[in-house]
Amino acid sequence: MSIHEALGLTDAEYERICELLVREPNHLELAMYAVMWSEHCSYKSSRRHLARLPTEAPWVLVGPGENAGVIDVGDGIAVAVRIESHNHPSAIEPYQGAATGVGGILRDIFTMGARPIALADPLRVGPLNEPRSNWIAEGIVSGISGYGNSVGVPTVAGEFVSCETYRDNPLVNVAALGIMPTERLVLGRATDVGGSAVLMGASTGRDGIGGVSVLASAGFEEADDDATKRPSVQVGDPFEEKRLIEACLELLEARLVSGIQDLGGAGLTCAASETASRGGTGMEVDVTAVPLRQHGMEPFEIMTSESQERMLAIVAPAHVDQVLEICARWEVNATVVGRVTGDGMLRVRDGADGEILAEVPASTLHDDAPSYDRPQCPPAEREVRRGVDPAARPVAGSPQVADPGDCAADLLAMLADPSWVYRQYDHQLFLNTVVGPGHDATLLRLRDPRDGTPTGRGLGISVDGNHRWCDADPRRGTAMVVVEAALNLACVGADPLALVNCLNFGNPTHPEVMWQLSEAIDGMSEACDALGIPVVGGNVSLYNETNGINICPTPVVCMVGVHPDLVRRPIAAAVAPGTELVVLAPTGLAGQADDGDDAVARQPVPLGGSRWAWERRHCRDGALPQLHLAASVATAQFVAGAVRDNLVHFAHDVSDGGIALAIAEMCCHGGTGVQARVPSLGASAPAARALFAEPPGRVLAAVEVHDVDRLASAASAAGVECRRLGSFGGSRVQIGRLAEPGLDIDLALDETLARWSGALPESFAQPVDGTAA
Amino acid sequence: MSVTVGVVRFPGTNCDLDTLDALAELGARTVLLHSDETSLGSLDAVVIPGGFAHGDYLRTGAIARFSPIMDAVASFASAGGPIVGICNGFQVLTEAGLLPGALRPNAGLSFLCQPQQVVMASVNHVLGHGLSTSEVLHIPINHFEGNYVCDRLTLQRLREKGQVVMRYVGNPNGSLDDIAGICNEMGNVVGLMPHPERATSELLGSTDGCRLLEALLEAAASTRQVIDRRTA
């Protein structure tokens, strides 16, 4: 294998480098192109598709392409938000992989001048109860807990999903938010020719060399390879990062730096070339000035090392002493390693005026990176799969086709309290957490970053993904994910403002994967347009595959919104005996079939892509329910308003697991039973369809008896269906259908609560016998 | 009359600003003290807040206890000044020998951030004013090392002299005798694992933390009166 192939470059890419340089690159230059032209840094397979996303709105201060997206939330406050993936490192070394993901995302936030105030961690792992999956899951959660808690940024939201598709390739996405006075916004640009490049933070070691090209831009072949890839995983030091945050924020506050950039994927090469390229300048780096952790490191190792907790600041020569002094006070190492030049070249030298080791036009590392229009093709069996009805599939072990099964058992099997995960995260630091993890969305107090004064307003955060929906139909499934995020924000009374996305997909050289990616981007665009919100940043993680099997397409979004008045917030305790249970939904989903509406009854809602079909019938086929975008958006807007008007005291969107799971979750939150009858979603439909189908746009609400009529007339005026389904109270969870006399589910509240709180702890308490399935 | 409370910040402390905010909200003047300072200046009380001083490297509080400011904190303690260590601050106070015992990793070997009920076991200390024994408070916990342990003789002494400040309702971390907080014999140095600054607003789910912090401000005011009277 040639050197460029070993570094992950194709023959055509190598030839293009020779053309750009008008000569053959040396080893160091080749290593720099290899990391910068990797999938991770260059988005070479996704760039042309990402261009279709809506990115503009009057409140967008910084859109995609910078370290983080920034939006104006009023009162002179700007919110920076960013999402990243650390999937591959976490598959190899779960604790450090997840921990360094947290560190990296925080640097992206304070690089913009914002103080990080919140983290969110959407996690996806393999089937629990398998020793290896449990090891990965526990390692990931401990890594986030160990790093996030110590670095002093609360982890306030997340997801915890387990599915076979992630057995060898877990998804560790991490989002971060920061706030700053709008006037403090800083960009990662080196515009001052003659300015010094100051490297701050940890010393540079051999950890993470080529992480972006070796790990992030290739799939896994055999488990044995993990050991050889482990040195490509970085090691995190949250205490170093904590000091680095404080030092950088002080430098930015004192306006001592003109540009600043974190060293993440592709290390110093990326930071130096990005700041120069964005500023239209060049840069000289002296490799001998870089403080090293190990002896005998080669220049290419220094330039591509991904050692954590490092920043590159561009400082006017007159300010260098002051910068070094502030860094010293925070016990942060800082060294001048280079200077900004006017010739557009990235030059690496051996000594300040020493031999030139590498010399390439800085912009060629970015702007000339390849962009591929890879072939796309929908999966051949797509139409056949869509025709399957999971409800017609036999229950495993049952001789009878279309056995209705045990709906109560199905419900209990899907019920799990995620607090096992989030209680390991500090989710209360900074005293902002009004609605914390475990609910539809998180609600934080929005305070003025200048002096901490409460604005009275709140910041809503929701992270969402659903691989089952996106596997059934990547376009509609992705749109449904975006709608769900908006509904989640609505449940806490917040209106959406913007989102960032993390697109986790398989191998882009497989045409089906490229088709999924392209469809998902279109679905996301459609939903964002319907909501009137922009995409302000994102991350693409490809090559999520093992032994040639791709993961299910998993776009994840982190949506941010604002609540205008925190006095009117949802309260879980409102789900109490005597409260009424009401569903708010787009037309056709609130029981019209039960009222004799034949048009609705003739088209039963399909069960394809539902959690029930996948987990309880082991059926991944079937069509996805219809998405009525405008009506779902109207429902979200109505729910947000009803929560703020105190008409609805607690709201919960109906998502995976269907309406039965959503009702049971409300019972668990409130510690009360329920007697409810739910819409059938089709004439003579089996119970499972009514209970577990996942048509988008529905929200359950806990409403006071005397408010039900007022809510119904307000809903009717807004064109939203509203139907009372039953009442909370009693010691049993009883769910039936509107048009049927009996009960489909009748469980003791105690048993339901025990299953809810015990599910995750029990999964992790299984003895590890080393016999992974 | 407003009292002045110093809040100590070690490198790695992260609840410093929250604690300052909570105290200021209750009307205290607040001063942020860096751990490399050698004097406290003119203060009526000291709080060592939660976090990860020096990254909790080596062992919680083990490096922080050698900080220059800890000598001044020890002198303030022996002069009867009110001192409260919250979470990591409690761990620092035990490492510094200002409180007996130690805090080990939680019995479940898992970090715990959750709402918690505690019951006041004594009120004869700087967090006791206005509270009564057996009163139940809702104050969240947030720690990996909150499992209090001490030798049998020390435990006996803590019980006899009313030095157990509060106990957990439903022991979350394996703590000996359900201990959530203790004080020294004089009652002027208190360490507790729960975070009162996180229970200071209805928006955050509880205001019970205000009662403990108000008690501290009251203790600070009366200690100052005693000292003022002596020097007058």
Q: Each residue of A556-588: pLDDT tens digit?
A: 999 999 999 998 888 877 899 999 999 999 988
**Mind telling me how many Å the CA of B194 is from chain A's nearest CA?**
12
Query: Across residues A383-399, what is the average pLDDT?
Result: 77
Cα–Cα distances (Å) from A58 to A71, A158, A483, A558, in that order, read 9, 28, 21, 20
Residues B82-103 pLDDT 10s = 999 999 999 999 999 999 999 9
Chain A 421-460, residues with CB within 8 Å of chain B CB atoms: 422-431, 433-434, 445, 452
The reply to whether residue B22 touches residue A243, judged by beta carbons under 8 angstroms, is: no
Residues A198-223 pLDDT 10s = 999 999 998 767 656 555 556 655 44
B105 close contact with A: CB closer than 8 A: no
Q: What are phi and psi of A485, to 5 degrees?
A: -60, -40
β-bridge pairing B4-9 and B29-34: parallel
pLDDT for A219 equals 61
Residues of A in contact with B11 (CB under 8 A): 239, 242-243, 330-331
Whole-number Å distance between alpha carbons of A244 and A650: 41
Question: With contact defined as beta carbons under 8 Å apart, do A79 and A459 qualify?
Answer: yes
Chain A 493-552, residues with CB within 8 Å of chain B CB atoms: none
Question: With contact defined as beta carbons under 8 Å apart, do A127 and A398 qualify?
Answer: no
Tell me the whole-structure pTM to 2 decimals.
Answer: 0.94
Residues of A in contact with B108 (CB under 8 A): none
Domain ranges of chain B: 4-231
Point out the residues of chain B with pLDDT beneath 70. 1, 226-232
Question: With contact defined as beta carbons under 8 Å apart, do B220 and B8 qualify?
Answer: no
B201 close contact with A: CB closer than 8 A: yes
pLDDT for A570 equals 85
**Mind telling me how many Å the CA of B68 is from chain A's nearest CA?**
15
B114 close contact with A: CB closer than 8 A: yes
Nearest residue in chain A measured CA to CA from B202 = A434
β-bridge pairing B117-120 and A155-162: unpaired
Residue A427 has pLDDT above 50, yes or no: yes
Phi-psi region at A690: left, alpha or beta (left = phi > 0; alpha = psi -120 to 50): alpha
Q: How would residue A770 be classed by pLDDT, with cut points 50, 70 and 90?
A: very low
Residue A418 has pLDDT above 70, yes or no: yes
Domain B4-231 of CATH type 3.40.50.11740: no
Q: What is the DSSP letter of A188?
A: S
B11 close contact with A: CB closer than 8 A: yes
Burial A484-500 (b: 16+ CB within 10 A, else e): bbbbbbbbbbbbbbbbb
Q: Which has the higher per-residue pLDDT, A499 or B57? A: A499
Cα–Cα distances (Å) from A373 to A380, A521, B113, in that order, read 21, 15, 47
Catalytic residue among A4, A27, A49, A86: A86
Burial A246-272 (b: 16+ CB within 10 A, else e): bbbbebbeeebbbbbbbbbbbbbbbbb
pLDDT for A772 equals 36
Residues A248-263 pLDDT 10s = 999 998 999 988 999 9
The reply to whether residue B52 touches residue A242, judged by beta carbons under 8 angstroms, is: yes
Residue A711 has pLDDT above 50, yes or no: yes
Residue A771 has pLDDT above 50, yes or no: no
| Those residues with Cβ within 8 angstroms of residue B35's Cβ, 6 or more apart along the chain or in another chain | B8, B9, B10, B11, B53, B64, B67, B68, B69, B70
Residues of B in contact with A565 (CB under 8 A): none
Burial A33-70 (b: 16+ CB within 10 A, else e): bbbbbbbbbbbbbbeebbeebbbebebbbbbbebbbbb
Cα A400 to its chain centre, rounded Å, is 41
The count of CB pairs under 8 A between chains A and B is 79
A734 close contact with B: CB closer than 8 A: no
| Those residues with Cβ within 8 angstroms of residue A738's Cβ, 6 or more apart along the chain or in another chain | A591, A594, A677, A678, A679, A680
Q: What is the DSSP letter of B206?
A: B
pLDDT for A51 equals 96
Q: How would residue A395 be classed by pLDDT, with cut points 50, 70 and 90?
A: low
Q: Is A649 a catalytic residue?
A: no
**Mind telling me how many Å the CA of B158 is from chain A's nearest CA?**
30
| DSSP run (H or E) holding B209 | helix B208-231
pLDDT for A683 equals 77
- 3-class secondary structure per residue, A247-304: HHHHHHHCCCCCEEEECCCCHHHHHHHHHHHHHCCEEEEEHHHCCECCCCCCHHHHHH
pLDDT for A234 equals 74
Question: With contact defined as beta carbons under 8 Å apart, do A332 and A243 qualify?
Answer: yes
Name the residue type at position A101: G
- Give the residue numbers of B annotated as catalytic, written as ranges: 87, 195, 197
Q: Specify the range with the lowest mean pLDDT, choosing from A107-111, A340-344, A466-470, A592-596.
A: A592-596
Query: Across residues A350-358, what is the average pLDDT?
Result: 94
Question: With contact defined as beta carbons under 8 Å apart, do B19 and B49 qualify?
Answer: yes
pLDDT, chain A, mean: 92
Hey, of B19, B20, B113, which one would you mutate to test binding to chain A, going by the most A CBs within 10 A of its CB? B113
Q: Specify the range with the lowest mean pLDDT, choosing from A430-434, A616-620, A634-638.
A: A616-620
**Mind telling me how many Å the CA of A330 is from chain B's nearest CA?**
8
The reply to whether residue B55 touches residue A150, judged by beta carbons under 8 angstroms, is: yes
Residue A700 has pLDDT above 70, yes or no: yes
Q: Which has the higher per-residue pLDDT, A6 or A467? A: A467
Q: Of the candidates B12, B14, B57, which has its C-beta nearest A429's C-beta?
A: B14
pLDDT for A212 equals 60
Q: Specify the range with the lowest mean pLDDT, choosing from A219-233, A382-396, A706-720.
A: A219-233
Residue A416 has pLDDT above 70, yes or no: yes
A417 close contact with B: CB closer than 8 A: no
Q: Which value does ipTM take for this structure?
A: 0.95
Query: Across residues A593-622, what is the average pLDDT?
Result: 89
Q: What is the DSSP letter of B148?
A: E
Query: Across residues A730-738, what is the average pLDDT?
Result: 96
